[in-house]
């Protein structure tokens, strides 16, 4: 029975820490960029856009496609930054709970 109790306790700790992490992700901002910073996108950890900054040198009305591509690159960059941060935080959480590396949490 001791093992079941420990498992329930760990599950409750994971759930509590996940709730804290989710709240933190709502508040934390992440950035992504393209073209050496000519396009900058800022989003919350939950993917809510905060700002987009464009250097005037890349705004060419006759070449909208390039600007669209650069925006996509910056959006992908910010998403990768969010995902990397989340993965790092999950690994820290698992380690602090004594779970093995690579352990898949059910949520």
pLDDT digit string, tens, across residues 38-97: 999 999 999 999 999 999 999 999 999 999 999 999 999 999 999 999 989 888 887 877
Going by C-beta distance under 8 Å and a sequence separation of 6 or more, which residues neighbour residue 8?
none
If one compares 45 and 14, the residue with the highest pLDDT of the two is 45
3 state DSSP class of 81: helix
3 state DSSP class of 98: coil
* Block residue for tokens 């700002």: 51
Closest CA to 43 of 56, 27, 55: 27
pTM for this predicted structure: 0.80
Contact 74, 42 (CB under 8 A): no
**pLDDT surpasses 60 at 107:** no
| Predicted local distance difference test score (pLDDT) of residue 103 | 67
| Predicted local distance difference test score (pLDDT) of residue 93 | 81
3 state DSSP class of 10: helix
């Amino acid at each position: 029975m001791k093992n079941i109790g420990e498992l329930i306790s760990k599950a409750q700790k994971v759930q509590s820490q996940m709730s804290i992490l989710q709240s933190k992700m709502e508040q934390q901002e992440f950035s992504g960029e393209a073209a050496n910073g000519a396009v900058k996108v800022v989003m919350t950890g939950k993917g809510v856009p905060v700002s987009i900054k464009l250097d005037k040198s890349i705004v060419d009305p006759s070449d909208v496609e390039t600007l669209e591509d650069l925006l996509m690159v910056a959006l992908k960059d910010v998403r990768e930054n969010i995902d990397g941060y989340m993965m790092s935080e999950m690994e820290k959480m698992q380690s602090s709970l004594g779970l093995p590396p690579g352990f898949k949490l059910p949520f």
